[in-house]
Structure 1
Amino acid sequence: MTTAFSQTTFTRTAGTPQLPTMPSGWPIGSYDSYAEAQRAVDHLADSKFPVQDVTIVGVEPMLVERVAGRLSWGKVLTSGALSGAWFGLFVGLLLSMFTAGAGFAPILIGLLSGVGFGMVFSAISYGATRGKRDFVSSSQLVARRYDVLSQPRNAEKGRELLSKLAFSHQSL
């Protein structure tokens, strides 16, 4: 599972719950960004700390939608034409592979059909909004802070290692 916080892939271990559950453990560090929390856990791993006992918890999650730009009929139709062209080109290439002696006709027909259908479907989709969403955006789940938790058996050692990390960053 890829998270909004990172681009790493999560692999399930034997102790990982399969249903959503509250995290357990004692706080050993708190950070303003996920990158800082990730760096802290990486430091723990480099220090041979049993990181399988560690959890990063995003506290006070927020859904942040960043507006990238305004939508217009021109942008919608151009985008539809381009995405349709790719699909049409793919279908045309497949048809040309299985049609003996057809030349470039299936590729051209697929390309033009894809452009046409892409424009029609994007126009219908955009028209259905009736101007209520005339912008493009991307959403991201972020948290106000990120706490690093450790199981109690190793919490004190984790705090010690993370305080050394914090001290070394303050000295720089």
Structure 2
Amino acid sequence: MTIPAIPTPAADVRVLQSVPSYASAQAIVDQLSDAGFPVERIRIVGTGLRTVEQVTGRLTTGRAAGRGALSGLWFGLMVGILFGLFAPGFGFLWILLISLLMGALFGAIAGAVAHAATAGRRDFSSIQGLEASSYDILVEAAHIGEAERLLGGGAPVAPAQR
């Protein structure tokens, strides 16, 4: 099995099309793939990147403690399994239960203390991500004609800006 070479930034690429959303870019690449085009010669490049933070809700000390308790449960589960496997003579389930409870307790305390330490400067929870204002579908210059033909022509061809 031959693994295709990853194109280098120095490759001569051309803009096949610019679209406003990633879903549109994905649909174009999928259309080319369905037509048998060598898609390893394509790049999707987001331009105009910005950070977007979606606020998901109010964060109270109780919610912070609850999230900490959930994190602590996972840690307690891992510790409980490890100790339970290697601790002879003591019941595996008791070790697991004690580890889960201790993990949840310490996680809740840590979550509450961490939230209280912000002194109200960040009383909300959020998810951060990157978003682009547009997406360019770049194709290696040697394959641009075939890509345009498969898409039905009409796609603007311009040298890619690096």
For normalisation by structure 2, the TM-score amounts to 0.79
Report which stretch shifted further, 62-71 or 117-126. 117-126
Partner of 2:120: 131
Alpha carbons 1:24, 1:149 under 8 Å: kept: no
- Alignment match of 2:108 (pick from 101, 105, 119): 119
Aligned to 1:45: 33
1:18-66 CA distance string (max 9 Å, x none): xxx5885222112221111111112112222232222111121121111
Q: Contact between 1:29 and 1:162, CA under 8 Å: does it hold in 2?
A: no
Change (3 A) 1:61 1:105: same
Unaligned runs of 5+ in 2: 156-162
Structure 2 SS opposite 1:137: strand
2:48 is paired with a residue of what secondary structure? strand
State the aligned residue count: 152
Q: Which amino acid aligns with 1:82?
A: L
RMSD: 2.5
The match for 2:136 is: 147
How far, CA to CA, are the matches of 1:54 and 1:45 in structure 2? Answer: 10
Residue 55 of structure 2 corresponds to residue 67 of structure 1: yes
CA distance, structure 1, for counterparts of residue 121 and residue 63 of structure 2: 16
1:75 positional shift: 0.5
Is the CA contact (8 Å cut-off) linking 1:29 and 1:159 kept in structure 2?
A: no
- Aligned residues: percent identity? 41
Greater CA drift, 77-86 or 101-110: 101-110
**What stretches of structure 1 move > 6 A for 4+ residues in a row?**
none
Matches within 5 A, 1:1-172: 13-17=4-8, 21=9, 24-103=12-91, 104-163=93-152
* Equivalent AA in structure 1 for residue 101 of structure 2: L
Secondary structure of the corresponding residue to residue 133 of structure 1: coil
Q: Kindly tell me: are residues 34 and 24 of structure 1, through their superposed partners in 2, closer, same or farther at Cα, counting changes over 3 Å?
A: farther
Give yes or no for contact 1:65–1:138 (8 Å, CA) kept in 2: yes
TM-score by length of 1: 0.75
Q: SS of 2:16's equivalent?
A: strand
Kept after mapping to 1: 8 A contact 2:11/2:140 = no
Give the C-alpha shift of residue 89 in structure 1. 3.0
Alpha-carbon shift at residue 113 of structure 1 (Å): 1.5
Give the Cα separation in 1 of the matches to 2:60 and 2:113: 14
Q: SS where residue 122 of structure 2 aligns? A: coil
Contact 2:66 2:111 in 1 (8 A): no
Which one-letter code corresponds to 2:95 in the other structure? P
